[in-house]
Amino acid sequence: MIKHAARSPSGSRTPGRGHIPAAPFMVAAAISLAGLVVTYMFFIKRAAGQFLDESALVEAAVPRRIIGVQSSQVLDSLPATSVVISVIVVLFVTLARRRWKAAGIALAAMAAANLTTQLFKFGLPDRPSLGVTTLTLNSLPSGHSTIAASAAAAVFLVVSPRWRPVAAFAGGSYAVVVGVATVINQWHRPSDVMAAFFVVALWTSLAGLVIVRTGPQWNVWLGASQHWASSRWWVATCSALALVAGIFTVLILRSVAADPSSSTTSYFLAGVGQIVLVGYGLAAAGTLLLTLPVRRRSSR
C-alpha cells in the first residue's frame, strides 16, 4: 500500500509533510485577475471592443432562430442542474473519501466566485458611450456562466489529482456550452462570459493552494500514465481546442476587417471562438496548476 508521506530530517515518516510552493497559485490568480481587467478595459472602455462585442450579440439572432429553443432549455435548467450536480459529486467524494476540508473550501470558492460576479455586475459603472449603438446597462460578468464554471470548478477541486484532467475537460466543456448558449439567447455578450471564467479561475487558483496544502495525503500526482482519467490527452485536447479557437477567431476577424457591414454571423462566430479559447485555455492551465505542484514527492 502506498503511503503518501515525506520523511522528516531524522528519517522518520511524517504524514502530510511536503512543501507546496505558493508562487504558481499566486501567479495563476494574478493572471486571472489581469484577464478580468483586460476584458473589462478592452470590451467596455474601448470602442473597438464594444463594436466586436455588440456585433456578436446582434448577429446571435441568426443562430437563435435555429437553436434558440434548445439553448433556452439549457439556460432554464442551468441553476438547478449546476448546483445539484456539483453538490452531489462533492458530497459523494466527501463521504467516500472523508475530504471535509476540501469540500468546504471548494464550496466556499464557488460561493465567493458568484458573489464576486454580482458585486462586479452591480458595482461597475454603465457602459460608456463611445459611438457604438449598445445597451448601456452593465452585464459583465455573466451570472449564468459563473454558476456553470464555479460548479465545475468545485468538482475539479475535490477530486483527486488523477481525476482532475478529465474533470477539467468535462467541466470546461460544460461551462463553454452554457456560455455560448447565453450569447445565442442574446442574454450576454462574449466578454461577459469570458469575464465570468476569469472570476472563477481567480478563486479556483486561491482555493487550490489551500486544498493541496491541507490535504497532502491525497493530493499526490502519480503521473499521466497511471489512470485513463490522468491521460495527457485531456490537457492536449483542451490546449488544441483553445489554439484552434484562437486561430479561427483571428482569421474570422481578418476576413471582415475590410468591410464589417458585410458580416452576418462572422462576429458571432468570433465571439464563440473567444469563449472557447478562454474556457478551454483556463481548463488546461488549471489542470497543470493542480497536478504538477503535487507530483509524487513522498516516499513509498
Query: What pLDDT, on a 0 to 100 scale, did the predictor assign at position 16?
Result: 42
- The string of pLDDT tens digits covering residues 45-84 is 999 999 999 999 999 999 998 887 777 777 777 777 887 8
Task: Give the Cα separation of 4 and 229 in Å (integer).
Answer: 20
- The string of pLDDT tens digits covering residues 215-269 is 888 999 888 888 999 999 999 999 999 999 999 999 999 999 999 988 999 999 9
Select from 225, 111, 224 the least CA-distant residue to 157. 111
Task: Give the Cα separation of 194 and 187 in Å (integer).
Answer: 14
Task: Give the Cα separation of 31 and 53 in Å (integer).
Answer: 22
Residue 123's SS3 state is: helix
Q: Is the dihedral of CA 253, 255, 261, 263 positive or negative?
A: negative
Q: What would you report as the CA-atom Rg of the chain, rounded to the nearest whole angstrom?
A: 20
**243: Cβ contacts below 8 Å, ≥ 6 apart:** none
Residue 299's SS3 state is: strand
- The string of pLDDT tens digits covering residues 159-208 is 999 999 999 999 999 999 999 989 998 999 999 999 999 999 999 999 99
Q: Classify residue 221 by its DSSP letter.
A: B
46 exposure class (CB count in 10 Å sphere: 0-12, 13-18, 19+)? middle
246, 277 Cβ separation under 8 angstroms: yes
Task: Give the Cα separation of 211 and 118 in Å (integer).
Answer: 25
Query: What pLDDT, on a 0 to 100 scale, did the predictor assign at position 13?
Result: 40
Query: What pLDDT, on a 0 to 100 scale, did the predictor assign at position 18?
Result: 56
